[in-house]
């Protein structure tokens, strides 16, 4: 039995043991949010709720994995395995596959549907725009996909789009063909038996809305629901939670309105601000003790966030040491600013025995990293930028994954088109265009056209038909080996497709790196198989692997580099993390806060919450830096200091850092 009184503070204990109705836990920065969630799940299990009847939703697979490991240490690994825990997309994707497997026809998909990433979706949209003869400069794939994503996250289907406020906005922006593209895009996904990420939510909501018996079954199945980072939920996520908790109302939402920074992704801060309106009788607990930062940093953060009107009031406190005041520096140019930051890092590693890994440079926008990268390179200081290209977005990885996708779901047209002539097998773009045209005219999928040579035998040369037949034979051979585990089949495909040989035999250094990346992918698949191979119900097939890997995000990547290095990342990417020493750079008006936030009070308050998040990443020391001029867009531009500086109480800031001087000019302080 866990001694909850001993393990938790009083307010944490009260939040963990409350089970009489809906609950809201306002977890301030560094206040032990994950601890409360994990202990609450352990408490529910101890009180007799079967673990498979507990639903816990997170925003990253990494967070779910960490929580499961902590819960396993509290109860048992067997019980933690049975928890229904994961991201909204992975859990609801699982529900969809289960229901499509047993109830044919509830949605126009089969259970082996593919999940399209952004690149896949944008390629489909690009083709649709082309066939509709629309201006590709106006209807860019990213613009169109953004509008479609917004529609789906607001539960607007293609049929409802023309009557929605989104259509009015489209007409104002002279992009009034979006709804037609949306309709064609939706049909293309259904034809390919594919869903994009937003569909995983929209189709779950539709499934529950249109099939009351299914909704009720899931509502009864889960006795208790918990949601992490509730301030980041959007409209459709809240709607699905209401569907699942309609009768029981047993929802524990954990989050912090002061860290709601994802409105651009569709997050709705009012979900947490108005939680008690959705769940009358809610009991709210506030976790206000910050275990992460010094008293000075916590006090400075409080002075920042109190300027916002829309918030659930709380006042963080810390029992840690008082710590240094926040240091301010303003350089004449961005080069001076970067020089100052690098000098501080060098001095602290020399005189205070800091490691490079103690330092993190945070910025509002990616372009700000350039001057700091240049300065770090000149000093031979190792660094890494977080939020760059994901491992799974690399071409060689996407190529091999496309092979896997076609083996699992041959109707996945985007994957099929990607691999049809890679490695080169003499099936050129002209041939592919003819096959796609046949697919459209015959209203058959590309796979169905390929599978029936009668469609194209008189249209193509004998040599090309022979190559297509050989390609088809190879794919069918792999499809017939799906009884193998994921690693065994993936290894066969990698070898027989010719990808491994092509990269390994290439004299180019970049191809050697690509070969190593492919080997790393196979190593990851081997780990997946080892982890999911159980005697009872092994879930280690290639189809199982594709389901999991298609839901990975950049936040889920493991950092396997043990060498110390300085970290650079956007403030958005830093949320949920903590660092000994941080530099928040680019503290200039129009940069941070950014110009776009000036248009409304709501936008400015979100921008201030972002500043609050940045400062609360620091455990021991925090520096805020800016520059009077920056080289941007081919010329120097002048900037005033950020208005956010005035939000910090003067008691917690200082203009100069320590007593030693940087080589940078330090006489121009914020």
- Known catalytic residues? 33-34, 228-229, 259, 617
Distance CA 600, CA 629 (A): 26
Residue 278 C-alpha from the chain's centroid: 26
Alpha helices in 108-234 (DSSP H): 118-131, 141-153, 165-172, 178-191, 197-210, 212-221
- What beta strand segments (E) does 293-339 contain? 326-333
**Pairing label, strands 653-654, 326-333:** parallel
84, 56 contact by CB (below 8 A): yes
Beta-strand pair 54-58/326-333: unpaired
DSSP letters for 435-496: HHHHHHHHT--HHHHHH-GGGTTTTS-HHHHHHHHHHHHHHHHHHTTTTS-HHHHHHHHHHH
Helix (H) or strand (E) holding 254: strand 251-255
Q: State how far the Cα of 30 lies from the Cα of 628, in Å rounded to an integer.
A: 33
Distance CA 311, CA 288 (A): 14
SS3 string, 350-382, reads HHCCCCHHHEEEEECCHHHHHHHHHHHHHCCCC
Sign of CA dihedral 501, 504, 507, 508: positive
Q: Phi, psi (5° rounding) for residue 330?
A: -130, 120
List of residues 6+ apart from 256 with CB closer than 8 A? 26, 27, 28, 29, 33, 231
Question: What one-character DSSP code corresponds to residue 591?
Answer: B
Residue carrying the six token digits 């990607």:
418
| Strand 618-632 versus strand 194-196 pairing type | unpaired
* Integer Cα distance of 603 and 593 in angstroms: 10
Strand boundaries in 8-53, DSSP class E: 23-27
Spatial separation of the C-alpha atoms in residues 348 and 327, rounded to whole Å: 14
Spell out the residues 6+ positions from residue 173 whose beta carbon is closer than 8 angstroms to its own: none
User: 653 forms bridges with which residues in the sheet?
Assistant: 326
Cβ neighbours of residue 535 closer than 8 Å, sequence gap 6 or more: none
Quote the longest CA-to-CA distance of the chain. Answer: 83
């Amino acid at each position: 039995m866990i001694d909850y009184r001993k393990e938790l503070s009083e307010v944490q204990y009260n939040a963990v043991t409350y089970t009489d109705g809906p609950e809201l836990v306002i977890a301030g920065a560094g206040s032990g949010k994950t601890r409360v969630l994990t202990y609450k799940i352990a408490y529910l299990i101890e009180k007799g709720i079967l673990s498979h009847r507990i639903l816990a939703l997170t925003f990253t697979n990494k967070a779910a994995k960490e929580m499961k490991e902590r819960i396993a240490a509290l109860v048992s690994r067997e019980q933690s395995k049975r928890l229904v825990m994961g991201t909204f997309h992975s859990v609801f994707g699982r529900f969809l596959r289960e229901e499509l497997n047993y109830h044919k026809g509830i949605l126009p998909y089969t259970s082996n549907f593919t999940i399209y990433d952004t690149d896949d979706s944008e390629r489909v949209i690009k083709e649709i725009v082309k066939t509709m003869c629309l201006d590709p400069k106006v209807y860019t794939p990213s613009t169109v996909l953004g509008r479609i994503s917004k529609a789906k996250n607001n539960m607007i289907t293609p049929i409802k789009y023309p009557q929605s406020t989104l259509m009015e906005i489209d007409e104002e922006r002279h992009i009034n063909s979006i709804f037609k593209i949306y309709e064609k895009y939706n049909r293309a996904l259904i034809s390919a038996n594919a869903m994009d990420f937003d569909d995983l939510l929209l189709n779950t909501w539709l499934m529950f809305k249109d099939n009351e018996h299914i909704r009720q079954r899931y509502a009864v199945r889960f006795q208790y629901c918990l949601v992490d980072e509730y301030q980041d939920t959007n409209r459709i996520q809240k709607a699905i939670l209401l569907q699942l908790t309609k009768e029981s109302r047993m929802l524990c939402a954990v989050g912090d309105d002061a860290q709601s920074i994802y409105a651009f992704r569709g997050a709705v801060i009012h979900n947490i601000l108005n939680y008690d309106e959705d769940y009358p009788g809610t009991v709210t607990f506030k976790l206000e003790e910050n275990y992460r930062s010094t008293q000075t940093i916590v006090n400075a953060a409080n002075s920042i966030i109190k300027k916002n009107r829309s918030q659930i009031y709380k006042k963080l406190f810390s029992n840690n040491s008082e710590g240094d005041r926040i240091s301010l520096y303003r350089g004449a140019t961005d080069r001076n600013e970067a020089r100052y930051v690098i000098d501080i890092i060098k001095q602290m590693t020399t005189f205070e025995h800091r490691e490079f890994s103690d330092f993190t440079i945070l910025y509002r926008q990616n372009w700000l990293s350039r001057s700091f990268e240049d300065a770090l390179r000149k000093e031979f200081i190792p660094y890494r930028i977080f939020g760059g290209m994901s491992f799974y977005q690399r071409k060689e990885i996407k190529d091999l994954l496309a092979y896997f996708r076609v083996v699992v779901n041959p109707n996945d047209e985007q994957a099929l088109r990607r691999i049809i002539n890679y490695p080169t097998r003499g099936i050129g773009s002209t041939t592919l265009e003819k096959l796609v045209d046949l697919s459209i005219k015959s209203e058959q999928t590309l796979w169905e056209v390929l599978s029936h040579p009668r469609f194209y035998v008189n249209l193509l040369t004998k040599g090309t038909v022979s190559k297509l037949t050989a390609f088809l034979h190879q794919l069918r051979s792999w499809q017939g080996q799906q009884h193998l585990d994921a690693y065994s089949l993936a290894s066969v495909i990698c070898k027989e497709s010719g990808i491994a040989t092509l990269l390994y035999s290439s004299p180019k250094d970049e191809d050697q790196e690509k070969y190593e990346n492919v080997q790393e992918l196979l190593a990851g698949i081997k780990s997946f198989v080892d982890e999911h191979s159980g005697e009872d119900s092994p879930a280690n097939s290639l189809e199982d692997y594709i389901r999991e890997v298609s839901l990975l995000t950049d936040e889920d990547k493991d950092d396997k580099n043990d060498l110390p290095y300085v970290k650079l990342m956007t403030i958005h990417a830093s949320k949920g993390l903590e660092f000994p020493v941080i530099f928040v750079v680019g503290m200039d008006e129009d940069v941070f806060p950014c110009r776009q936030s000036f248009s409304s009070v709501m936008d400015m308050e979100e921008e201030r919450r972002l500043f609050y998040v940045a400062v609360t990443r620091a455990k021991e020391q925090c520096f805020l830096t800016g520059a009077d001029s920056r080289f941007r867009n081919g010329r120097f531009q002048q900037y005033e200091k950020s208005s956010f500086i005035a939000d910090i109480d003067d008691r917690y800031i200082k203009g100069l850092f320590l007593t030693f001087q940087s080589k940078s000019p330090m006489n121009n302080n914020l």
